[in-house]
Amino acid sequence: MPNVHVRDVPLEALETLRGAAKRNGRSLNAELVDALVQQAARETRGLTLVERLEEFRRRWSEAHPGGYPPGLEPEAVIRRLRDGG
């Protein structure tokens, strides 16, 4: 497996990663590899914010063809908040 040498990591970032490694019960190296793998997966998916929002809109429309689930229509939410409930 290839190796990577990283230089000039800001101390604050390094401490944050060390804390995450400790919380996750793994070494700093394992934490860094996981972070790199996750970022690579996001890059591979290559979805921009607009594309993710469009996907959310599509899924929402499929799940709620009428627009909003009952009780979550904007008017109902506003009425509930206005009336203190």
Question: Residue ranges of the chain with pLDDT lower than 50?
Answer: none
CATH topology of domain 1-46: Arc Repressor Mutant (1.10.1220)
The pLDDT of residue 11 is 94
CA atoms within 13 A on the CB side of 55: 7
For the chain, the structural domain boundaries read 1-46, 47-85
Instruction: Please indicate, yes or no, whether the overall pTM of this predicted structure exceeds 0.75.
Output: no
Q: Is 31 exposed, middle or buried (0-12, 13-18, 19+ CB in 10 A)?
A: buried
What residue type is 36 in one-letter code? L
According to the 3-state scheme, what is the secondary structure of the chain? CCCCCCCCCCHHHHHHHHHHHHHCCCCHHHHHHHHHHHHHHHHHHCCCHHHHHHHHHHHHHHHCCCCCCCCCCHHHHHHHHHCCC
Rounded distance, CA 16 to CA 32, Å? 11
